[in-house]
Amino acid sequence: MANTLKRVIFTCGGTAGHVNPAIALAQLMHRKDPATEFLFVGAERGLEKDLVPKAGYDFRTVHISSFHRSLKPREIKHNVVSVCNLMRAPREARAILQEFRPDVVIGTGGYASYPMVKAAAKAGIPTAVHESNMVPGLTTEMLEPFAGRVMVGFEECRRHYKHPDKVIVTGTPVRGDFFDLTKAEAKRALSVDDGRPLIVSFWGSLGASGMNRQMADFLALEAAKEPFHHIHGAGSAGYPQVRQLLRDKGVDLEAHPALQVKEYIYNMAVVMRAADLVICRAGASTISELTALGIPAVIVPSPYVTNNHQEKNARVLEAAGGAAVLLEKDATGQALFQTACAILHDGDRRASMEKAMASLGIRDATERIYQTVLELCR
């Protein structure tokens, strides 16, 4: 079927995990039909206001903000503003719809999705929502009655919805460059092809300081014999912290070329493709990359996120046999090192974890979402 979508609104925000799937889908739609027009709608202060224009798309805002559960005066003031925004946002959303006249509105998460998708549904415009996490977030829960389709990452997600007939398993888009190289080619490109496994580790911004301290202990244990290659992305704040902690432990990274600590892993697609084990949080984007590539993981879910959704994400991978899960309170450098060694020194277990992780992966998620949206708009 030819692409009949001429004008598409994406509404998303809050985190890169909400914005990137929308950008990936817009890029695919543009390749299918370069004449398609796109408009992204998000919040004034969200990450989307930077990510979307950098990707080359028009961006508009609605006034929308979160609600905090604290009774501190500052938080009460914030909630009053949020109530006012909640009253303004529907009018702003209707104005955007009347001006742009989209064929479909697609929400991929974040508070800004709510007024746009709801207003579109009330106006009779086809709507779809994509949820990256295993368990629906608050916005997705509120939009389920209005959305024509709810697209999710895994079959396991379906049971969390009141209208399972609306739910389509599409997966979550992963950037195409993650598959440009074979694993062997990626290892050669990184000069880590001497037969030793490659560990890749990184943390999100929430709680990263504490986990970087544990990773310094992990790297110090590795320095004794260098059994693995290891690339750790410490973040801008964590980079000097990890380097100093290692110096305090008598570890000079210059003397241990197999151990690399980077401020940021800019070539993440190549690094992830080469990885034999990843140690990380359980954000939705990371989960989709791990499963698409079939990489075993040691996961430390962030305890600082709403509704504890990272642990719920991680437990699905653990139940399938693709990941080992350590809660942050138990994730010492020693425990992480022992868990990694147990996986990498056991060929059968490692192969089993790779197979289990790959069984959950959906490499053509963007195409599946595209086809679902086309079907919705017929």
What integer pLDDT is reported at residue 67 of this predicted model? 46
**Lowest mean pLDDT across 28-32, 85-89, 219-223, 299-303:** 85-89
Which candidate, 378, 377, 289, 374, places its Cα nearest to that of 32?
374
What integer pLDDT is reported at residue 285 of this predicted model? 87
- Residue pair 111/65 in contact by the 8 Å Cβ criterion: yes
CA torsion 365→367→372→376, rounded to 10°?
A: 150
**Boundaries of every domain in the chain:** 7-174+363-377, 177-360
Residue 323's DSSP bridge partners are 297
Written as six digits, the tokens of 184 are 């062997």
Q: Listing from the earlier edge strand, what are the strands of the sheet with 37-43?
A: 58-62, 37-43, 7-11, 104-107, 127-131, 149-152, 167-169
Written as six digits, the tokens of 243 are 């380097």
Is 177-360 the same fold as 7-174+363-377? Answer: yes
Tokens 């389920």 locate to: 144
Residue 86 has pLDDT above 60, yes or no: no
What integer pLDDT is reported at residue 63 of this predicted model? 66
pTM of the model: 0.84
Tokens 């829960």 locate to: 141
**Lowest mean pLDDT across 38-47, 140-149, 352-361:** 38-47
Tokens 């000097």 locate to: 240
According to CATH, what is the number of the domain 177-360? 3.40.50.2000
Q: Write the pLDDT tens digit of every residue in 286-307.
A: 999 999 999 999 999 999 887 7
Q: What is the DSSP track for 234-260?
A: -HHHHHHHHHHHHHHTT--GGG-TTEE
Written as six digits, the tokens of 257 are 């070329």
What integer pLDDT is reported at residue 187 of this predicted model? 98
| Cβ burial, residue 292 (10 Å; 0-12/13-18/19+) | buried
Which candidate, 230, 236, 240, places its Cα nearest to that of 337?
230
Superfamily covering domain 7-174+363-377: Glycogen Phosphorylase B; (3.40.50.2000)
Q: Write the pLDDT tens digit of every residue in 152-208.
A: 998 889 999 999 999 999 999 998 889 999 999 999 999 999 999 999 999 976 668
Residue 332 has pLDDT above 80, yes or no: yes
